[in-house]
């Protein structure tokens, strides 16, 4: 684990607060750590930050992350955005990664 992420998570555990800039910069790692440590409040904050910066170029990565970290509140908005910007999302290099995630593909095909 990145020492800066560890420091941010530790600060959150003791103060119930995390710097928004840190969360924006390290949101994915913070989310993964929050999932591992079962810090639901931190996980929820990280999800909101990651959703606020969602775009076609990062949608595939964010969707995979949502499934890996059991982020139910992220899945539907990402799937809907991918439906809306289907051509742009499919043009990204990471689109091909979805072939390794049959569960995600099933949900994606249901939406599209």
CATH number (domain holding residue 41) = 3.30.710.10
Name the nearest CA neighbour of 22 among 10, 36, 38, 4: 4
- Give me the pLDDT at residue 1, please: 74
Category of 57 on φ-ψ map: left (φ > 0), alpha (ψ -120 to 50) or beta: alpha
Q: Work out how many domains the chain is built from and give that number.
A: 1
Domain coverage including residue 33: 3-111
Give the DSSP letter string of 67-101: HHTT-HHHHHHHHHHHHHTHHHHHTSGGGGGGGG-
- Give me the pLDDT at residue 2, please: 85
Predicted confidence pLDDT, tens digits, the chain (112 residues)? 788 899 999 999 999 999 888 888 999 999 999 999 999 999 999 999 999 999 999 999 999 999 999 999 999 999 999 999 999 999 999 999 999 999 999 999 888 7
């Amino acid at each position: 684990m990145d020492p800066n992420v560890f420091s941010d998570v530790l600060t959150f555990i003791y103060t119930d607060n995390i710097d928004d800039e840190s969360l924006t910069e390290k949101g994915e790692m913070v989310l993964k750590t929050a999932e591992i440590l079962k810090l639901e409040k931190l996980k929820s904050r990280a999800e909101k930050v990651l959703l606020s910066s969602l775009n076609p170029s990062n949608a595939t990565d964010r969707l995979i992350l949502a499934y890996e970290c059991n982020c139910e509140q992220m899945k539907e908005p990402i799937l809907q955005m991918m439906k809306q910007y289907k051509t742009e999302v499919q043009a990204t290099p990471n689109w091909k990664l979805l072939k390794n995630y049959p569960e995600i593909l099933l949900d994606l095909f249901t939406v599209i």
